Structure formats: C-alpha cells, structure tokens
Amino acid sequence: MTQTTSEFPKQIAPSPPSFGLALSFWLKLGFISFGGPAGQIAIMHQELVEKRRWISEQRFLHALNYCMLLPGPEAQQLATYIGWLLHGVRGGVVAGLLFVLPSLFMLIALSWLYIAYGQTSLVAGLFYGIKPAVTAIVLQAAHRIGGRTLKNASLWTIAVAAFVAIFALNLPFPLIVFCAAALGYLGGRFLPQDFCAGGHASKANQLNYGAAVIDDHTPTPAHARFHWAGLSRVLLVGMVLWSLPMLSLLWLFGWQHTLTQMAWFFTKAAFMTFGGAYAVLPYVMQAAVHHYGWLSAGQMIDGLALGETTPGPLIMVLAFVGFVTAYMQALFGADQLFLAGCIAAVLVTWFTFLPSFIFILAGGPLIESTHHQLNFTAPLTAITAAVVGVIVNLTLFFAYHVLWPQGFAGGIVHGIDLWSACIATLAALALIRLKWNVMWVIALAALAGLMIQLMLK
C-alpha cells in the first residue's frame, strides 16, 4: 500500500513527488483555483505547505515575494516557480500551463454563448444583475489594495495623482506606472520609512508544518542553480517563442491587421500587470474600447463578469476580448466566426502569459541563490499605490456605464437606473462589510437581475 504524504511523521520529510503525481495536482489546481490571487495562493499553501509538505513555509514565501515583484499574475507565476523547483523546466511549464488552460477553454465556451445568446431575455436578465455586481467587485478591489497599501501621506499622494492623471488628464497607463516606479525609487532613497514594504508574511508569522521535500535548508537542486549559459538559453528560447508567431502574423496579415495588433498590444500589457489584473484592466480598457474600438464598454464589463466566474487568473478576461473582437469582425469570413474567435483567444493568451514563464525560468535561479528577504520593494510599493487611483477610475467608468446607461441626458438624479444602483450598493455592502464570497455575490446579483427584468416586462 502506498503511503500518503499526510501519513509521514512531521519530523521526516515525505518522499519527493513523482512528475506524474505533481501533474495530477497541477491539473486539479487549474479547475479549483477560484477566488482570485488571494484564494489561489491560499489553496496552494494549504495543499503544498500544510498537507503535502512539498515545500516549506519559508521557501514558499520566498518564492511568493519574488512573484509579487513581477508584472503578471502572481498566483500563476508561483505555481510555475514551485513546479520548476520540483521538476525543472518541464515541471514549471506544466504547472503554469495547467493553471491557465482550464480557464481558457471555459472562457472560449462562455464567450461564444455570450455572443450567440447574449441578447436573449434570460441571458440579458442575468447580465443586468451581474454588471452592477462587477462594479462593486472593482470597488472592493480598490478598497482591499488601498487598505493594504496606503499607509502614509506619501502613498496617498501618489494614489490621488494617479487618479487625476488617468481620469482628468487621460494619460496612458504605462506612463503612470513608470512615473510611480521613479517616485518609489526616489522615495526608497530619501523617505525609506514611507516606502518600505515587508514580504507577504513576516518570519514571526511563519508556522512549522514539519519537514518538507524542499525544506528551509535543502540545497538548491542542480537544475535551479544559476548559470549564465542557462539564463542565455531561457532568454533565447523565449525570444524565439515570441518571434515565431509574431513574424508569422506579420507575414500572413501585415502590421495593421487586428490579430497582429492584438499580439503586439497584449505583449505590452503583459509588462503592465503590476498589482494584478485590476491594475491592467484600465490599460486594456483604454486601448480596446477607446483606441482600437475592438469592443464596447458594456462588453468589457460583461467580459470581466465572465472572468470572475471561471477558475484561473482574472487576467484571462483578455481572452474574452480577443474572442469577441475576432468573432464580431469576422476576421476569417462569415462562415469561420468561431474559429476566428478561438485563434484570437489563444493568441492573446500566448502573448499575455509567455513573459511570465520567462520571468520565472530566467529569474528563478537568481532568486534561489539567496533566501533572505527581497528588498526591491520601494518602486513596487509606489506602483501599487498608483494602481489604487487607477482602479478607482475604473470603478467610476463602470459605474457610469452601468448606473447611467443613457448617460446624463435626464440629469444625474433622474437618469440613474435605480435597480442597478440598488444591486451595486447591496453587492458592495456584502463584499466589503460582510466579506461574502465573490461567487455568491455574482450568483445572487444575477438572480436579482433576472427577476427584475421579468417583473418589468
């Protein structure tokens, strides 16, 4: 009889997991990783640190602190890092891919259902309730990140300045991120007490769950040691994996084609996701809605709603943007709508997540060379503060389009959709004050929206 990990005495490290066993876990994680990055990280901690003891608390947090410094979805990058630490490059690639693929397939299916049946009374009623709930979810994100980040006047000033920059001055999101990072760098030098940020958890809060496969003092595996040749190889392979599809799009369609523009834009977006998906959504909204005209503001809100209902990183909502754009523009002709949507969704996912794999496989050996607390957090702290102001702007954008669907033509008071305002208010109270689960809030809001639509008929 095979002995399970939990049956080992805690002072004895369990046997290293086989690649097949790890593969089954990463596949399972891809289907159960609901709850946003906090929920996804909590699931990995419970399974990998507490239950299976594949990695110790300190090594887990050390990896997480590095992932938090990177642009991109930190939970997906953490899975990639641990998979790589356990089984090398193939382990990291499999862990990262399986974190994303279930969500991609679900979003392709949901995006098609949205396009094909979105105008039916049933689906329209459900989205009537979900949209104001999404507005409340974005507000909760600003509240959560702000409460964790805005600890002093310096950070509040950066947040307010970022809000003014994007709301009033309409400055591009990358410029705001760059300015915030520069301010954070200067602040770390001259006002270190305002810009210091600890890791994800202090050592005082770390618990001992017993000996682990990769324990606090376990030597770095041979494949995880830094070599210049290894770094060069990862960067070269990463460049090839980016260049081949990009050059193919240029050769087949040209620079101005929608697919080529998507590939280039979402490559840039991959480097803008400091602070999580809610940080990059304003950047995507600026481009997809206002600059390129790929989809409407209402469709962007609907896409976020679908993204909230699927497992995996929320940034997967970008696959919805790709699918809907290619489908509506009939990029491959009227008889190939679904194929066009699928290819666009896959391309968007490829160019969005490829940098995350490169960051981990190239930077992991450098991080494994030191297990002390990372101290490059001052620019990240300032960027996160700026993200709060940007997300507040996103909340106002969603609120305007949801609560005043006809604009301010009838006046701010008379033009408001009172039913939507009630759902948004109740959803915000449930999320922020009562700490309800996001999935429950979305489900109840969808039911309320359907009942209201049926009642008003």
For residue 361, the surrounding DSSP H or E stretch is: helix 337-368
pLDDT of 371 reads 54
Residue among 312, 356, 304 at smallest CA distance from 140 = 304
Q: What is the pLDDT of residue 446?
A: 87
Nearest-angstrom CA–CA distance, 324 and 317? 11
What are the residues whose beta carbons fall under 8 Å from the beta carbon of 153, sequence distance 6 or more?
Answer: 194
pLDDT at 67: 82
Question: Residue 413: beta bridge partners?
Answer: none
Q: CA-based Rg of the chain, rounded to a whole angstrom?
A: 23
Answer whether 310's CB lies under 8 Å from 110's CB.
Answer: yes
How many whole angstroms separate alpha carbon 102 and alpha carbon 457?
37
- C-alpha to C-alpha distance for 456 and 449, rounded to whole angstroms: 11
Nearest CA among 310, 337, 311 for reference residue 323: 337
Question: Residue 342 corresponds to which tokens in the numbers above?
Answer: 């699928």
Q: What does the pLDDT read at residue 140?
A: 83
User: What is the rounded distance in angstroms from the CA atom of residue 184 to the CA atom of residue 345?
Assistant: 35
CA-CA distance, 275 to 32, in Å (whole number)? 22
One pLDDT digit (tens) per residue for the chain, 457 residues: 344 455 556 667 788 899 999 999 999 988 877 656 766 787 888 889 888 889 988 788 778 778 877 888 888 999 999 999 999 999 999 999 999 999 999 999 989 988 888 667 777 788 888 888 888 887 887 887 788 778 899 999 999 999 999 888 888 777 888 898 899 888 888 888 888 654 444 444 445 677 888 887 888 888 888 888 989 999 999 999 999 999 999 999 999 999 999 999 999 888 877 666 666 777 888 888 888 999 888 888 888 878 877 888 878 889 999 999 999 999 998 899 999 999 999 999 999 999 999 999 998 888 877 654 445 567 778 887 887 888 888 788 878 888 887 776 666 666 788 898 999 999 999 988 888 877 788 889 889 988 998 887 6
Residues in the chain: 457
pLDDT of residue 278: 67
| pTM given for the model | 0.77
Residue 408: the pLDDT is 67
pLDDT of residue 275: 60
Q: Give the burial class of 171: count Cβ atoms within 10 A of its Cβ; 0-12 exposed, 13-18 middle, 19 or more buried.
A: middle
DSSP assignment of 79-126 equals HHHHHHHHHHHHHHHHHHHHHHHHHHHHHHHHHHHHHHHTTSHHHHHH
pLDDT score recorded for residue 206? 47
Residue 204, pLDDT score: 40
Task: Report the pLDDT value the prediction gives residue 36, as an integer from 0 to 100.
Answer: 65
Per-residue confidence (pLDDT) for residue 316, from 0 to 100:
87
Task: Supply 375's token pair.
Answer: 């101290």
Backbone angles phi, psi at 214, to 5 degrees: -105, 95
State phi, psi for 111 to the nearest 5 degrees. Answer: -65, -40
What percent of the chain is helix, strand and coil (3-state, nearest 5)? 75, 0, 25
- Residue 382 sits at the vertex; the CA angle it makes with 63 and 235, to the nearest 5 degrees, is 45
pLDDT at residue 413, as a whole number: 62
C-alpha dihedral sign at 115, 287, 404, 390? positive
Q: Which of 162, 165, 368 is nearest to 274 (CA)?
A: 162
Nearest to 183 by CA among 205, 167, 202, 160: 160
How would DSSP label each residue in 212-262? -SB-TTPPPPGGGS--HHHHHHHHHHHHHHHHHHHHHHHHHH-TTSHHHHH
Kindly state the tokens that stand for 371: 């297990």
The residue extents of the domains of the chain are 11-98, 103-198+227-456
DSSP string, 52-73: S-SB-HHHHHHHHHHHHHSSS-
Task: Count Cα neighbours of 75 within 13 Å in the Cβ-side half-sphere.
Answer: 28
The number of beta carbons lying within 10 Å of the beta carbon of residue 260 is 19
Whole-angstrom distance, CA of residue 408 vs CA of residue 181: 37
pLDDT of residue 235: 95
pLDDT of amino acid 3? 45
> Bridge partners of 214?
55
Query: How far is Cα 83 from Cα 76, in angstroms, rounded to an integer?
Result: 11
Q: Show the tokens assigned to 115.
A: 């396009």
